[in-house]
Structure 1
Amino acid sequence: MSKELIFGHQSPDTDAIVAAKALSYLENKLGKDTEAVALGEPNEETKFVLDHFNEPAPRIITKAAPEVDSVMLVDHNEPQQSVSDIADVTVDVVVDHHRISGFETAQPLFYRAEPLGCCSTVIYKMFKENNVEIPAKLAGLMLSAIISDTLLLKSPTTTPTDVAVVKDLAKIADVDYESYGLAMLKAGTNLASKSEKELIDADAKSFEMAGKSVRVAQINTVDLPEVFDRQAALEAAAKAENEAEGYDLFLILATNILDSNSELLVVGAPTEPVEKAFGKTIKNNRLSLPGVVSRKKQVVPQLTDAFNA
């Protein structure tokens, strides 16, 4: 089997899906046979992006080994975030912008990780390095991924490189990135039609911290009270997932994309590292986190340090 599958993490966000498509296009231009697939359904924001650029959603897989011998990973490296049978295939390539944790291979591989705001920004650099032109539609998709991951360049994960790449991709795609970006982000905040389980599963990642399994979900909104009006039901949904999936702690980060403030809902134990991470006391299972918008930079590192202390 010479074909390779490319995919992002479980509960894929816009970057996980777009980065797979972008890397697949690049690798195919460079002579490989690849297919971009996904490890879950696109969320509402990603559906908006795909519809806007008339791009089909990728095929969804639950296992890779029945189809291919080797795979390429984008936007993740931690095994618990990847395809269920990741141990049964060879990882040839990783392109990422997250921490490296729990990742090892038996064979040498191409590994590209940069501390940028978005995996698609890293892939943009790879296009430039290989002198491969980015088509207008793909530029629009990659632009969308960067807007998503950086909350329209407002997240503290945003770098000058991300800003420059957004402006270049916007020119290629002929898109006013500011007005389009706000419409795109708002499309992902339609919460009323979703169940509590859908809300906590749409953008969630699992992390191992000092032997504990910690699940961190993020819900973007333009109205934090709308989220916490459903607090009891959200807690029940998180508790059910803790019991079903073996998570010790389920954290739900609700983020207001308009004012860049968040509240954290804490379900499970231990809670002491959470309080230590943010220097605050949990009240009514909640913590107020003004100015916090990035799970990657403002939540997971602080939690990891607190658990390991």
Structure 2
Amino acid sequence: MTKQLVFGHQSPDTDAVVAAKAFSYLQNKLGFDTEAVALGSLSEETKFVLDYFNEPEPRIIETAKNEVESVMLVDHNEFQQSVSDIADLVVTDVVDHHRIANFTTNMPLNFRSEAVGCSSTVIWKMFNENGIEIPANIAGLMMSAIISDTLLFKSPTTTPVDVEATKALSKISNTDYNVYGLDMLKAGTNLSSKTEEELINGDAKSFDMAGKTVRVAQVNTVDLEEVFNREAALVSAIEADSKTNNYDLFLLLVTNILDSDSELLVVGEPKEMVEKAFNKKLVDDKLSLPGVVSRKKQVVPQLQTVFEA
């Protein structure tokens, strides 16, 4: 059987890495030959998770066509978020929980997308549907991904299914998800050793909005001031990155995971679209967004609406 690669989006977060590993394991149990890989360096949070459950880091790739003819995508479907040569590959499977955009294939495929808080929640359901037992370490990884994407159920993206999956996976992995979850989230907020370039690209996605390329990055912290003390350097890094990659508008969403509030830094144009999206005026290119923690549900749809109006 021909080998396939399984991977999440560029600038992988914990779910992108974990979902690839979990889905690859499931597919291999179902008779396919797959390998989970990543499309970029791993975050501190993801490294914490893999180390905790004694799971090796995935191999990082830049292109896939030189290795395989077909691939499976998890935690994304938009081509601009995928491997650079995605257009030259056959996509046989997608498991996602985001909007569907800029996605076309020439061949039929297995496409599973659900409005839940995490791709690993969908994969948990697929394990159950296929009667495949989840190993303890894989269960721990999947539990971690759900905690990460839902911010331990504080995010508005959280559904009852996410909570149910987390509790079930915590039992399999023999892990107290509340205690472990807070430790895991805090591990991802150690930002002092990161460069500005690492901060703006650690968890970032690009979106096509009415012909404009909008980049939305998110940084989790327990101290907003710690991040914004580096504002000038962050702006310089964003401007350089935008010039290199032709981003029209770059938004850096800095989220305090303890109080579930965010501050938004905006670089590029058209800034007025950001003001319209949140019905607020920018102050020194920043917006205070109390209660906003989800890029997927509380930032991107609002921007998309005003860009397409």
Same fold, judged at TM 0.5 (above) = yes
Structure 1 residue runs of 4 or more that deviate by more than 3 Å after TM superposition? none
Matched, 1:203 2:197: no
Equivalent-residue separation in structure 2 for 1:231 and 1:42 (angstroms): 23
The aligned residue for residue 261 of structure 1 is 261
Matched, 1:163 2:157: no
Equivalent-residue separation in structure 1 for 2:166 and 2:31 (angstroms): 27
Read off the aligned partner of 2:257 and give its amino acid letter: I
Read off the aligned partner of 2:193 and give its amino acid letter: S
The aligned residue for residue 13 of structure 1 is 13
The aligned residue for residue 54 of structure 1 is 54
Report the Cα offset of residue 150 of structure 1: 0.2
The aligned residue for residue 228 of structure 2 is 228
Percent same amino acid at aligned positions? 71
**1:53-132 matches, cutoff 5 A:** 53-132=53-132
1:183-232 CA-to-partner distances (Å, cap 9, x unmatched) read 00000001111111110010000000010000000000000011111111
Read off the aligned partner of 2:58 and give its amino acid letter: P
Read off the aligned partner of 2:6 and give its amino acid letter: I
Equivalent-residue separation in structure 1 for 2:252 and 2:56 (angstroms): 30
Matched, 1:218 2:198: no
Equivalent-residue separation in structure 2 for 1:41 and 1:233 (angstroms): 21
The aligned residue for residue 45 of structure 1 is 45
Read off the aligned partner of 1:147 and give its amino acid letter: I
**Over the residues paired in the alignment, what is the CA RMSD in angstroms?**
0.6
**1:238-257 matches, cutoff 5 A:** 238-257=238-257
Report the Cα offset of residue 46 of structure 1: 0.2
1:56-75 CA-to-partner distances (Å, cap 9, x unmatched) read 00001111101111000000
Read off the aligned partner of 1:281 and give its amino acid letter: K
TM-score by length of 1: 0.99
Report the Cα offset of residue 41 of structure 1: 1.0
Report the Cα offset of residue 266 of structure 1: 0.1
The aligned residue for residue 179 of structure 1 is 179
1:238-257 CA-to-partner distances (Å, cap 9, x unmatched) read 01111111000110000000
Gaps of 5+ in 2: none
- Secondary structure of the structure 2 residue equivalent to 1:208: strand
Equivalent-residue separation in structure 2 for 1:244 and 1:86 (angstroms): 21
Equivalent-residue separation in structure 1 for 2:171 and 2:54 (angstroms): 18
TM-score by length of 2: 0.99
Equivalent-residue separation in structure 2 for 1:7 and 1:258 (angstroms): 30
Equivalent-residue separation in structure 1 for 2:193 and 2:63 (angstroms): 30
Gaps of 5+ in 1: none
Tell me the matched-pair count: 309
